[in-house]
Amino acid sequence: MIGAIAGDGFSFWLGHRYHRQILRGWPLNRFPWLIERSAQFIRKYGITSVFLARFTAVVRAFVPLLAGTMRMSSRQFYLANILSALVWAPMHVFPGVLIGLAIAFGGAHAPELSLAAVGVLILAWIGWRMIKYKTAAVLECAASPKASGSNPGESSPQPTFPADRTGQPDR
């Protein structure tokens, strides 16, 4: 949990500190469509986007950085960051813990406990897939109004951002 919170927190800090400068550098400048899609997602869902992005592989890498770049409040970001890490991290660790417990405490009942552990893993996997598909549907919905008909390989418009603290656009 601490690693997840720290990693996204660092990404948020980079976006908050370096604004759009960081988006012009490699490798981010190679993925303008993903940056725009993530920016649309943040504009549409705000703080919820940080929570949902934790469960979506590609967007997870961009949303914290863009949340900082788009000047989301630190309080809102860290609320969503911490809450999502509290859900996400155990989902990744708990299946292994169950198997370890089944082996360690199983003794004569190891087959039954192993079967129960497999059942819990299957239920966890089903839950994970449901969250993944729901999040993907939300992302697709967020991207579809402006991205319909566009090819990911083509150059897409750069995301629009508010003016910096001096009132000048940071582009």
Residue-wise pLDDT for 123-141, tens only, equals 998 998 888 888 877 777 7
| Confidence label for 54 from pLDDT (cuts 50, 70 and 90) | confident
**164 vs 74, more confident:** 74
The tens digit of pLDDT for each residue in 80-136 reads 999 999 999 888 888 788 777 767 776 666 777 778 878 888 999 899 888 888 887
Q: Supply the pLDDT for residue 66.
A: 87
> Do residues 67 and 15 touch, judged by C-beta distance below 8 A?
yes
Quick one: pLDDT band at residue 46, thresholds 50, 70, 90?
confident
The encoded tokens of residue 153 equal 């390989």
Averaged over 11-31, what is the pLDDT?
A: 84
The residue that leads in pLDDT, 143 or 54, is 54
- pLDDT value, residue 59: 76
**Tokens encoding 118:** 């497999």
In the chain, % of residues over pLDDT 90: 17
3-state secondary structure of 39: helix
Three-class secondary structure of residue 151 per DSSP: coil
Give the whole-angstrom CA distance, residue 100 versus residue 95. 9
- Residue 78 banded pLDDT, cuts 50, 70, 90: very high
DSSP state at residue 56: S
Confidence band for 171, pLDDT divided at 50, 70 and 90? very low
Residues 38 and 56: beta-carbon distance below 8 Å = no
